[in-house]
Structure 1
Amino acid sequence: MKLHLTAPANTLLEENIQITGSKSETNRSLLLQALFPNLRIENISNSDDAQVMQKGLKITDGVVDIHHAGTAMRFLTSYFASQEGKNVTLTGSQRMTERPIKVLVDALKDLGAEISYEKNQGYPPINIKGKKLTVNQVSLPANISSQYISSLLLTAPSLENGLELELVGKITSVPYIKMTLALLSQIGLENSFEGQIIKVAPKKVVDDITLIVESDWSSASYFYSIIALADVGSSITLSAYKQDSLQGDSVLAKIYTQLGVETVFGSNTVELKKIKEAEIDSLNVDLADAPDIAQTISVTCFGLGIGCHLTGLHTLKIKETDRLEALNTELSKLGAPISVTDRDLTLFPSENINSGVSIDTYNDHRMAMAFAPLALKTDLFINDAEVVSKSYPDFWMDLKQLQIGVDEVG
């Protein structure tokens, strides 16, 4: 599906939008519910990834195809490895078979897991024969994707002797690790995070508890971008959000103050208000703890005609696509002066935005949604726009609610 996006007749915006539950929190909660079936979950994400996770957790034997869902691949690897008697082959899309899993598999093997590669060493598909894991000490490089770390931590309470995980080197994506540990704490699972060592105690049963999933801050990022590009005085109210969020991407509230956007927290809501035009020439941010918002921020800055220097982006190379190279290619099409390395992105200030450009999405939901706010500045096309269903199926409908033109073409 190819969409043509055009600016609303009035770029002074005012709207209320309900956003589905966080994909990150949902998938963590679903895995915990599989280990402790008496848990209840509310406000589950309606994303493809969450549906794939739910379906995968119900399978005990045979092929588990998680398509493009990287989180499900990492989380289910640890889950199945620790489930005695289960025998599955975990696979996914072509891109998923190019995304490394070796670091996690090696750690699980150190714990006693039985996992083998079906094709290429270090990459899915993998065959997993679930067994009781009794070894309780393992180490991981600290600068890898937090999903590897969270995968082990979520499964840890069900292990015979719990888990002591040592992180070697400089730790990145700390908020996502803390989100995982906070969820464990919410359901009464003992854990600690001191220095480089994380410990999770074993437990067989938890109390009857309802986990309420906060709405997704990554999804909120696109509305921060829209407000930043809209007229002063515009506002969008989003629900359901909380000020003491577990999600690392909630750092958006602080970052976008530099781009003229004020965040006002209400009861279960957050209001985004454009209070002034950006007064900086360039935005410099280390996104090691929140790399998923790099696409949104770089596109916002381009739309505002300012530069940015974003660092801490080394994990973007192994996402749904190589997001740094994808940003380089697509922003260049629009006329952006940009350069990238394997861990950072530099955009130089420019007033020029090419019109009528078709943005390729590379099977990456965030590419489609990050570029969409530019509709306030120029006509553009989004190729394979249905990819947003991975995390935010209602995205295009919500854009129409803002009177942004969203028309299918071709």
Structure 2
Amino acid sequence: MNLQLHSETHDLSGKVKITGSKSESNRLLILQALQPLLTIDNISNSDDTVVLKDALKSQESIIDIHHAGTAMRFLTAYYAVQPGKTVHLTGSGRMRQRPISPLVDALRTLGAKIEYEENEGFPPLKIEGQKISKQEVQIDAHISSQYISALMLVGSSFPNGLKIHLNGKVTSLPYLKMTAQILKKVGVETIFEDTYIQVQSSRIEAKNIAVESDWSSASYFYSLAALSASAEIELSTYHKSSLQGDSSLVSIYKQLGVNTTFKDNSILLIKKETTTLNELRLDLNSSPDLAQTIVVTCFGLGIACHITGLHTLKIKETDRLLALENELTKLGATISVTNDSLSLAPSSQIHKNIAIKTYEDHRMAMAFAPLALKVPIVIKNAEVVSKSFPDFWRNLEDFKIYHKILP
């Protein structure tokens, strides 16, 4: 489905209720599978979370998680510690190109029995669940924090808990802190000191956890506000003390002219005047999922940006750095990328009715959509947003950003 977007206003006002955080929901689902007394409210309705939830309930021997990278990592660890259960864990073509060996190597060290069914180091996997008795492991920390989070989550069910030694600089540190805080919230004691994590063995008591709304999803409305002439947008359900690293949006977008007011259970985004910033410089090592949205916002505002800490974007749903370079260049941008950084020169014009390729990546579709406030734009394969934000296109219509389905 290809959508042509256009805006009928440059002054935005409205309210949006955003689904629960995908990151929080997925962690809690694994803990719930390990400790069934746990109940969850405001769970994400994203494809990734639905896929994970269905997989955990499935009695089939073949589990296909499609494009859901978090599900691949978390389920690899989960199935590895289910004695007597054998599964074949697979996914999309792109998923079979995304590395899994750091996690598999760590799990094998603990006694897991995992085989690569096609290419060494990549899914699909054959996993024969084992009872894990070892309690100490090392893992590279610079590739993906999800490998470490997966170990932390299942480690809570080990008889003696789990000690994790991290090698190298930690990537996406807020996501590891989120995992540790969620474990503590459900009653699992966790120690996290620099390159050492200890997860205590614990039996979770009956407990109900409410999931905060997703800050990554909020980023697209921050972009809309920044690109508008004026805006007053209320988003729920958000809290000033958030577990999510992407809440750094508040300080980042303040530089781009958007102020955030925290209310009892929501945030209010207000844009009144144009930013006077000439260049935005950021290190997004702790929140790389914001990169696409921020870069597109800067392009739409005609300001330069230089962003580092982006090495994990090469192994996401697509090579996000290359995808950004390709699509922004089509729109008239001057942009250059390396393996871990991106530089955008200021632009004075945006080409109209350019068809943006989304590369089966939900964030490409949603990051580019706010440019409809500046020029008509086409988003190809727009249905990909269901991976994390199924209501996205309907929510845009509430702000008079309309779409037409193209043949």
TM-score scaled by length of structure 2: 0.99
Q: Distance in 1 between matches of 2:86 and 2:59?
A: 7
1:90, 1:124 within 8 Å by CA — same for their partners in 2? yes
Whole-Å separation in 2 of the counterparts to 1:245 and 1:44: 16
- Superposition deviation, residue 60 in structure 1: 4.5
Aligned to 1:231: 229
Q: Which residue identity lines up with residue 38 of structure 1 in the other structure?
A: L
Where does 1:3-402 land on structure 2 (aligned, <5 Å)?
3-8=3-8, 10-203=9-202, 205-232=203-230, 234-402=231-399
Q: Give, in whole Å, the separation in 2 of the partners of 1:63 and 1:209.
A: 31
Q: Distance in 2 between matches of 1:57 and 1:105?
A: 19
Counterparts of 2:100 and 2:148, CA distance in 1: 12
Which amino acid is 2:294 matched to? I
| Structure 2 residue 403 is the aligned partner of structure 1 residue 406 | yes
Matches of 1:124 and 1:59 in 2, distance apart? 19
Map Cα deviations across residues 11-37 of structure 1 (whole Å, 9 max, x no partner): 111100110011111100101100110
1:61 deviation in Å? 4.7
For residues 253 and 407 of structure 1, what CA distance do their matches in structure 2 show?
Answer: 32
Deviation (angstroms), 1:161: 1.8
Aligned CA-pair RMSD: 0.8
Within 2, Cα distance between the matches of 1:48 and 1:254? Answer: 29
Structure 1, unpaired ranges of 5+: none
Q: Counterpart of 1:178 in structure 2: which amino acid?
A: K
1:60 and 1:88 in contact (8 A); partners too: no
In structure 2, C-alpha distance between the alignment counterparts of 1:186 and 1:166, rounded to whole Å: 23
* Residue identity in the other structure for 2:5: L
> For residues 267 and 366 of structure 1, what CA distance do their matches in structure 2 show?
29
Deviations, residues 257-289 of structure 1 (Å, cap 9, x unaligned): 100000100011001111321111110000000
Cα deviation, residue 195, structure 1: 2.1
Counterpart contact for 1:12–1:230, Cα < 8 Å: yes
The separation in 2 between residues aligned to 1:53 and 1:386, in whole angstroms, is 19
Residue-by-residue CA offset, 1:79-110 (whole Å, 9 max, x unaligned) = 00011111000000000000000010000000
Cα distance in 2 for residues equivalent to 1:116 and 1:249: 35
List runs of 5+ in structure 2 lacking aligned partners: none
Letter in 2 for 1:121: E
Q: Under a length normalisation based on structure 1, what TM-score does the superposition of the two structures give?
A: 0.98
User: Whole-Å Cα distance in 1 between the matches of residues 126 and 112 of structure 2?
Assistant: 11
Q: What is the rounded CA distance, in whole Å, between the counterparts of 1:11 and 1:275 in structure 2?
A: 12
The 2-side partners of 1:201 and 1:361 are apart by 42
Deviations 1:188-214 (A, max 9, x none): 1011001210000112x2111111011
Contact 1:242-1:268 within 8 A present in 2 as well: yes
What one-letter code is carried by the residue in structure 2 that aligns with 1:382?
Answer: I
Q: Distance in 1 between matches of 2:57 and 2:127?
A: 15
- Stretch deviating more after TM superposition (180-189 or 53-62): 53-62
> Does the 8 Å contact 2:318/2:360 carry over to 1?
yes
Query: 2:221 and 2:60 mapped to 1: Cα distance?
Result: 42
The letter of the residue matching 2:3 is L
- Residues 60 and 105 of structure 1, relative CA distance in 2, 3 Å threshold: farther
Cα distance between partner residues in 2 of 1:110 and 1:19: 40
8 Å CA contact 2:232, 2:268 repeated in 1: yes
User: 1:4 touches 1:381 (CA, 8 Å); kept in 2?
Assistant: yes
Q: Is the 8 A contact 2:145 2:170 kept in 1?
A: no
For 1:386, give the aligned amino acid: E
Maintained 8 Å contact 1:83/1:131: yes
SS in 1 for 2:300: helix
- C-alpha distance in structure 2 between counterparts of 1:145 and 1:265, whole Å: 31
Matches of 1:134 and 1:263, distance apart in 2: 48
Asked whether the equivalents of residues 4 and 379 of structure 1 are also in contact (C-alpha less than 8 Å), the reply is: yes
1:59 Cα deviation (Å)?
2.8
Q: Deviations over 1:163-203 (max 9, x none)?
A: 10011121221110010010100011011001210000112
- d(CA) in 2 for partners of 1:142, 1:34: 26
2:61 counterpart SS class: strand
* AA aligned opposite 1:283: L
**Which stretches of structure 1, 4 residues or longer, exceed 2 Å deviation after superposition?**
none
Give the Cα–Cα distance (whole angstroms) in 1 for the partners of residues 156 and 66 of structure 2.
27
